[in-house]
Chain A
Amino acid sequence: MRTECEQAREWMDLLLENELKQPEKEQLDRHLESCKSCRMMLAEEQSLIQGLRNLKKVPCPDAVIQSILRMTKPERRSWFKRITQAVLQPAFRKPAYAFAGVLAAALLFWLIPKMEMQDTGSELALQETVDSQDLEKSKAQAEWTLLYVSKKLNQAQEKAVKDVVIQDLPETLKNTIKKTVPFFKGGRI
């Protein structure tokens, strides 16, 4: 069977940790009034705890603090790094990623139609280039044909004139021409 002192020691432990309830505290006080050994035990424990609480705080040397502050001195950061670090603080990280995702999606939706339009434009430009090349070629061909036709016409006209002239001339003159005009083939008609 548990003695009164054993119960009191248990209460004393709770008292030292400020966990003893009021009714038990009153019972303990009553016991301590009559029990010298428990009273001494409590006094010793309280003295010990007081001693531990009063242990002197050892002052940290200034050299250690200076060394800590030197080692943790923040480096100079570029404005870009400062902005990204501020935006990517843990509290802002998720919203920042979400915003970046939405921005990227919007950019894609904006860019795709632009790219398609650019494709159509380039096709038209190509067509225009091809057309202009054909035009130049056709023009050159037409010029050449015109020259050819005009040359042929000139030749035909010349021959016709010559034929007419030669047929209608008197025989004596024809003979003179035969002798003097050198442009007929072989110098003769």
Chain B
Amino acid sequence: MDHGTFKKFVQTHKNAVFSYATYLVRNRQDAEDITQDVFVKLWQNMDKIDKNKTKAWIMRVAHNLCIDQIRRNKSLRSGPSEEGNQAVFVQNPGFHDADPEGYMEFREMQKEILEALARLPEKTRCVLLMHYFQDLKLDTISDIMNENLNTVKVTLHRGRKLLHAELKSRYPDRVGEAQHAYRM
């Protein structure tokens, strides 16, 4: 991969890596540092990486760096920071102007999911984000996390139940809305 191709690759995957890091470490500055480290490492190890598995490779590096950062942050402060969630909600003028009410609801729902996610165990959060948000297959996740495929499946299943329970306990109205939507 020459520098031109690398540049295109960075442009394609920058938001995926940055979002994953932001949602996982919940600190914008840390997420920026992690994103930078991921792509610099990719450039340095270009010769050793299988071209068909480049996305999985960057996600593995991002995941490992996020876990390291979470552990470092845990040793520095107690409890999760709210900064990450605040940093996530950047303005989206088009959406905001067209449907301000819908935008507010969208923001509110994202906030609730992120807050519930933040209360889940680290491994569960990673599996949920990688599978649903990053759209990675379960066998790829098992490679990235160096875990057995069945363990990943079980973690995903339990993660869904835990997240559901967390949301239900904190926002019973929101769950009611889902039921209402289904009936409609």
A→B interface (CB under 8 Å) = 13, 16-17, 39-40, 42-49, 51-61, 63-65, 67-69, 71-74, 89-90
Which of chain B's residues has its CB closest to A69's CB?
Answer: B7
Q: Is the CB of B3 within 8 A of A61?
A: no
Q: Is the CB of B22 within 8 A of A49?
A: no
Q: Is the CB of A58 within 8 A of B7?
A: no
Q: Is B47 interfacial (CB 8 A cutoff)?
A: yes
Cα distance A60–B181 when bound, in Å? Answer: 33
The interface bits of chain B over 26-65 (1 if a CB of A lies within 8 angstroms of the residue's CB, else 0) are: 0000011001100110010001000000000000000000
Cα distance A48–B120 when bound, in Å? Answer: 15
Q: Is the CB of B164 within 8 A of A45?
A: yes
| Total contacting residues, chain B, CB less than 8 A | 48
Question: Given the known A-B contacts A45-B164, A58-B22, are A72 and B133 also in contact in the complex, defined by CB atoms under 8 Å?
Answer: no
Q: Which of B115-163 contact A (CB under 8 A)?
A: 128-129, 132-133, 135, 138, 156-157, 160, 163
Question: Given the known A-B contacts A44-B175, A55-B113, are A64 and B35 also in contact in the complex, defined by CB atoms under 8 Å?
Answer: yes
Q: Which A residues are CB-close (under 8 A) to B113?
A: 48, 51-52, 55
Contact of A51 among B6, B19, B40, B109 (CB under 8 A): B109
B→A interface (CB under 8 Å) = 3, 6-7, 10-11, 14-19, 22-23, 31-32, 35-36, 39-40, 43, 47, 87-90, 92, 109-110, 113-114, 128-129, 132-133, 135, 138, 156-157, 160, 163-164, 167-168, 175, 178-179, 181-182
A-B contact list, 26 entries, CB within 8 Å: A17-B138, A39-B182, A40-B179, A43-B181, A43-B182, A44-B175, A46-B178, A48-B167, A49-B132, A51-B113, A52-B129, A53-B133, A53-B135, A54-B110, A55-B110, A55-B114, A56-B88, A56-B110, A57-B16, A58-B88, A58-B90, A60-B18, A60-B35, A64-B35, A64-B36, A68-B10
Q: Is the CB of B182 within 8 A of A60?
A: no
Cα distance A56–B172 when bound, in Å? Answer: 23
A71 to chain B, nearest CB (A): 5
Q: Which A residues are CB-close (under 8 A) to B181?
A: 43, 47
B62 to chain A, nearest CB (A): 12
Cα distance A88–B177 when bound, in Å? Answer: 61
Cα distance A72–B2 when bound, in Å? Answer: 11
Residues of A contacting B: mostly: helix
Which of chain B's residues has its CB closest to A44's CB?
Answer: B178
10 nearest A-B pairs in the assembled complex, by CB-CB distance:
A43-B182, A47-B178, A52-B132, A60-B18, A72-B43, A60-B14, A58-B19, A57-B15, A68-B39, A51-B113
